[in-house]
């Protein structure tokens, strides 16, 4: 059973993709003290839900998510999260605006680190 920490406020991200295109984003999570959060061994999921709350898409470490180093050009971070949606899967999600959450469970503590909207366009 995981515990929820209610003192943490997730970051806001609004993003999206176009049907037929590959989608890819990389993240590094930084704690309040400015240090990179070590997500090695974390359980990670990204969910996209309709306005009514129905699940439209879920990515996890077996489907579109991987924990690895992140190279932002000027800075390489040893640990981060890569999220991809293959162009063949974009039509499964369908055109629309979805509520997005990126959740990580680290050492039994489950948190929503990022929330916002994901828009799939035609």
**pLDDT tens-digit series, residues 65-93:** 999 998 888 878 889 999 999 999 999 99
* 47 touches 58 (CB < 8 A): yes
CATH number, domain with residue 25: 2.60.40.10
Segment 29-42 shows an average pLDDT of 87
What is the C-alpha to C-alpha distance for residues 105 and 92, in angstroms, rounded to an integer? 27
Segment 10-23 shows an average pLDDT of 95
Boundaries of domain holding 68: 3-121
- Whether the predicted pLDDT of 25 surpasses 80: yes
Residue with tokens 């924990």: 67
Residue 9 confidence (pLDDT): 82
Average the pLDDT over each of 10-14, 69-73, 84-88, 113-117 and give the range with the smallest value: 69-73
- Whether the predicted pLDDT of 2 surpasses 70: no
Which among 60, 67, 102 is positioned nearest to 85, based on CA atoms?
Answer: 60
What is the C-alpha to C-alpha distance for residues 83 and 59, in angstroms, rounded to an integer? 8
* 48 touches 99 (CB < 8 A): yes
Q: How confident is the model at residue 99 (pLDDT cuts 50, 70, 90)?
A: very high
Domain count, the chain: 1
Q: How confident is the model at residue 1 (pLDDT cuts 50, 70, 90)?
A: very low
């Amino acid at each position: 059973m995981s515990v929820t920490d209610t003192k943490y406020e997730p970051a806001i991200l609004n993003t999206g993709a176009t049907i037929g295109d590959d989608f890819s984003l990389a993240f590094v999570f930084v704690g309040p003290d400015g240090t990179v959060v070590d997500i090695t061994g974390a359980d990670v999921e990204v969910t996209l839900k309709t306005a009514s709350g129905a699940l439209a898409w879920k990515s996890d470490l077996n489907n579109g998510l991987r924990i690895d180093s992140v190279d932002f050009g000027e800075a390489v971070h040893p640990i981060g999260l890569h999220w991809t949606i293959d162009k063949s899967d974009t039509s499964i999600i369908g055109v629309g605006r979805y509520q997005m959450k990126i959740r990580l469970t680290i050492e039994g503590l489950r948190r929503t680190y990022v929330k916002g909207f994901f828009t799939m366009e035609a």
